[in-house]
Structure 1
Amino acid sequence: MVPDNCSAPPWARTECPYADLRRFSRKSDVLRKEPTVAAGKKAILAAMFANGGIAVAKFVGAAITGSASMLAEGVHSVADTCNQGLLLLGQRRAEQEANNLHQFGYGRSRYFYSFVVALVLFTLGSLYALYEGVHKIQHPEELTRPFIAIGILGFAILLECFSFYTAIKESRPLKGEASWWQFIRTSRHPELPVVLLEDAGALIGLVLAFGAVSLTMITDNPIWDGIGTLSIGILLGIIAVILIVEMHSLLIGEGATAKDDKVIRDNLVDGTRIERVIHLRTQYLGPEELLVAAKVSIARGLEISDIAAAIDDAEARVRAAVPAARVMYLEPDLYRSSPAVPGV
C-alpha cells in the first residue's frame, strides 16, 4: 500500500523515499507506451497468433503421420506461445507504480519474465526434443502419409515468416546501425531480441523438420526423422542458453552504454559551477529507466543556493540528452588531488 505522505505537497515530498521516482514515472507515462514498448507488443502478438495456429497444425500432422519431428516442432510451438504470454505479462507487471516495497518500480519484471521464457524454452522445448529424438533413433517407426507432414510444415513456414518479418520490422528503429547480433547482445529491451531469436529458431527448426521428413520419404529410412528431432533439440538448447546468459546480465543490472556514459559525463559538467565528475555509477532499472548516481566537483566559494541550482541544471541537461536517465542522485563535493574512494 502507498503511504499517505507520498501524496504530500512538493515541499514535503522528501518524507516519501520514492516520491521522486513516482514523479518522473508519471511525467513519462507516455514513454511507458512509447514505440519501444508498442513495437515489442506488436511483435509478441504476431508471434503468439502465428505459433498458436502452427502448434495446432503440427499436432494434427504428428497424429496423422507419426512424425517425431512434427511432434517436437508442435511442442516447440506450444513453448513459444506460452513464452509470448509470459512476455506480455512482464510488460504489464512493469507498468505498476513504485511502492514502499519496490521503491524503484517494477521495470525489471520484463527482464525476469524474459529469463523465465529462456527456462521454458530449454525445459519444455529442448529437453523434450532431445529425448524424443534419441527415442526415435533407437526405435525408428515408419511415417504414414508423409505428404501431409510436408504440407503442414510448408504452411507453418509461411506463418513463421510473417511473424519473423514483423519482429524484424519492429526492431529496425531500435537496432539503428548495429548488426543484428549486436542488437541482441546489447539491447535493454528484452522482448524484441527474445522474439527475434525464437522466430529465427522456429524457422530453422521447421527447415530441419522439413528436411528430416523429406529424407525419410526419399530414403525410406525413418531414422532421419529422429535425427531431425535431435537437431531441433540441440538448436533450441543453444537459443535458450543465449537467452539465459543475456537475461541474467540484465537481471543483475547493466550500466549505461559507453556512448551514454560519455554523454552523461559531458552534460554533468558546465565548466563554471560543476568542474568535473569525480565518479559516476549507472544502472538500468528497466528498459526505459536508468539510475544515475554521481559525485561531482563543485567550484569553491559557491553559496548553497548556487550549488542547488547547479545540481538542478545538471540533472536537466542529462535528462534532455539521455531521456532514460529518470532517476538521478548527485552528490556535490570538492575535488581533491588524491582519487576518491568508489562509493564514498
Structure 2
Amino acid sequence: MAGHGGTRVIITALAANVGIAIAKFVAAGITGSSAMITEGVHSLVDSTNHVLLLYGSRRSHKGADGLHPLGYGRELYFWSFVVAVLVFALGAGVSLYEGILHLLHPEPSSEVGIAFIVLGVAAALESWSTWEALRAFNATRGDKSMIRALKDTKDAPTLVVLLENAGALAGLLVAALGIALAQWTGNPIWDGVASVMIGLILAAIAIVLIVEAKGLLIGESADPALVEAIRACAASHAGVRKVHEVLTVHQAPEMVVSVISADFEDSITARDVEQTVRDIEAAVARQFPVVTRVYVRPMGEAASG
C-alpha cells in the first residue's frame, strides 16, 4: 500500500498547493487576471485531490474482514480514479469556462508585477513538491525509462502527484506567457487564451490519469519479473513437476495476490503434496513481501490443457 514515502509525497504536495492556491487567488483579486483565477482553481482542485488521496491511503490500510476478504487495498485506486475525474471536471472544466468567458469579454489586468511574483513563488513550491515525488518514484523504478516506469507503476498516488505537478508547472508557464503577451500587446485576449490552454493541458493529464486509474481499479498483474521469480520459486521445490500458471493482481501498490497452478510428481503422497504447497506459500511470502496472499492450486497436465 501507499507507505510512508507515498504519504510524505502527498502531504508535501498538499502543503505546497494550499499555499499556492491562497497566493493565486489573492493575486487574481488584485490583478483581475483570468489566467490567475484559472491557476487558483487549478491549485484548489489539486489540494482537494491530495486530501482524497490521503483518505484513500488511510482506508487502504484497513485489514481484511468478512465483507472484503482480501482487504481494502483497492480503495486507494478508487480514490485515485475520483481524483482523475475531478481534475477533468473541475480543473479543466472551470479553466476552459473562465478562458472562454474572458475571450468573449476581455478585461485588462492590473498590477501584473504581483502576478509574476506569485507565479515565481508557485513555481518554486511546485518544483519542491515535484522533487519529493520524483525521489519516491525513482527509488522504485529500477533501470526502467521514465516513460516505461510511469506506464507500469502501480503507485497511483505518486503518479497522480507527478502528473498533476507536471501540469501545474506547464500551467504556470502558460499563465506567465499569457499575462506577458497581454501586457506587451495591450490586448487582454491573451489572458483568456492562456486560461483555455491551461484547461486543455489539464484535460489531457486527466485523461491519462483516468485511463491509468481505471486499469488499476479493474486489476493489473504484477511486474513480469516478479511473476517469473514467483514461478521459479515454486518450481524449485521437490516434488513439483511443472508450474503451469502464475496469476497475480495488485490490490494496492505493495499488496499483490498470487495464485500458482502446479503439477506434482505422481510418486509423492497427498500428504507430501499438502506439505509442499505449504512450503511454497511460505517461501513466496518470505522472499517477496509484496505478495501478501499466495495460493497454490495442485493440478495435472490434463487439467492445465
Alignment of 1:9-158 (within 5 A): 37-158=3-124
Q: Deviations over 1:120-172 (max 9, x none)?
A: 11111001101111111121111111111111111111111111111112222
Letter in 1 for 2:15: F
The TM-score, its normalising length taken from structure 1, stands at: 0.86
Partner of residue 16, structure 1? none
- Contact 2:284 2:294 (C-alpha < 8 Å) held by counterparts: no
Q: Within the alignment, does 1:162 sit opposite 2:128 as a pair?
A: yes
Letter in 1 for 2:295: Y
Q: Secondary structure at the match of 1:177?
A: coil
Q: Runs of 5+ in structure 1 lacking a partner?
A: 1-31
Letter in 1 for 2:236: D
Take 2:150 and 2:237, find their aligned partners in 1: how far apart are those partners? 38
Q: Secondary structure at the match of 2:304?
A: coil
Q: Within the alignment, does 1:193 sit opposite 2:159 as a pair?
A: yes
The TM-score, its normalising length taken from structure 2, stands at: 0.96
- Contact 2:150 2:159 (C-alpha < 8 Å) held by counterparts: yes
1:311 to 259, 265, 277: 277
Q: Secondary structure at the match of 1:327?
A: strand
1:226 to 192, 217, 239: 192
Take 1:101 and 1:171, find their aligned partners in 2: how far apart are those partners? 33
1:275 to 217, 229, 241: 241
- Contact 1:268 1:277 (C-alpha < 8 Å) held by counterparts: yes
Deviation at 1:271, TM superposition (A): 6.1
Q: Within the alignment, does 1:324 sit opposite 2:284 as a pair?
A: no
Letter in 2 for 1:72: T
Partner of residue 251, structure 1? 217
Q: Runs of 5+ in structure 2 lacking a partner?
A: none
Instruction: Report the identity percentage.
Output: 38
- Contact 1:164 1:199 (C-alpha < 8 Å) held by counterparts: yes
Deviation at 1:322, TM superposition (A): 2.5
Q: Secondary structure at the match of 1:63?
A: helix
Q: Secondary structure at the match of 2:301?
A: coil
Q: Deviations over 1:286-325 (max 9, x none)?
A: 2212111122101012122211121122223322332222
2:230 to 252, 264, 271: 264
Take 1:37 and 1:182, find their aligned partners in 2: how far apart are those partners? 22
Take 2:278 and 2:48, find their aligned partners in 1: how far apart are those partners? 46
Take 2:121 and 2:245, find their aligned partners in 1: how far apart are those partners? 57
Partner of residue 304, structure 2? 340
Which segment is superposed worse, 139-148 or 231-240? 139-148
Letter in 2 for 1:61: A
Take 1:321 and 1:172, find their aligned partners in 2: how far apart are those partners? 22
Q: Secondary structure at the match of 1:326?
A: strand
Q: Secondary structure at the match of 2:291?
A: coil
- Contact 2:285 2:294 (C-alpha < 8 Å) held by counterparts: no
- Contact 1:119 1:244 (C-alpha < 8 Å) held by counterparts: yes
Q: Deviations over 1:44-75 (max 9, x none)?
A: 11111110011011001111111000000000
Letter in 2 for 1:37: G
Take 1:82 and 1:256, find their aligned partners in 2: how far apart are those partners? 30
- Contact 2:6 2:157 (C-alpha < 8 Å) held by counterparts: yes
Q: How many residues align?
A: 305
Take 1:70 and 1:44, find their aligned partners in 2: how far apart are those partners? 24
Partner of residue 18, structure 1? none
- Contact 2:247 2:260 (C-alpha < 8 Å) held by counterparts: yes
Deviation at 1:39, TM superposition (A): 1.1
Deviation at 1:184, TM superposition (A): 1.8
**Pairwise CA RMSD of aligned residues?**
1.4
Take 2:120 and 2:236, find their aligned partners in 1: how far apart are those partners? 61
Q: Secondary structure at the match of 1:70?
A: helix
Structure 1 segments of 4 or more deviating over 4 A? none
Q: Within the alignment, does 1:217 sit opposite 2:183 as a pair?
A: yes
Letter in 2 for 1:212: G
Which segment is superposed worse, 309-318 or 290-299? 309-318
- Contact 2:237 2:276 (C-alpha < 8 Å) held by counterparts: no
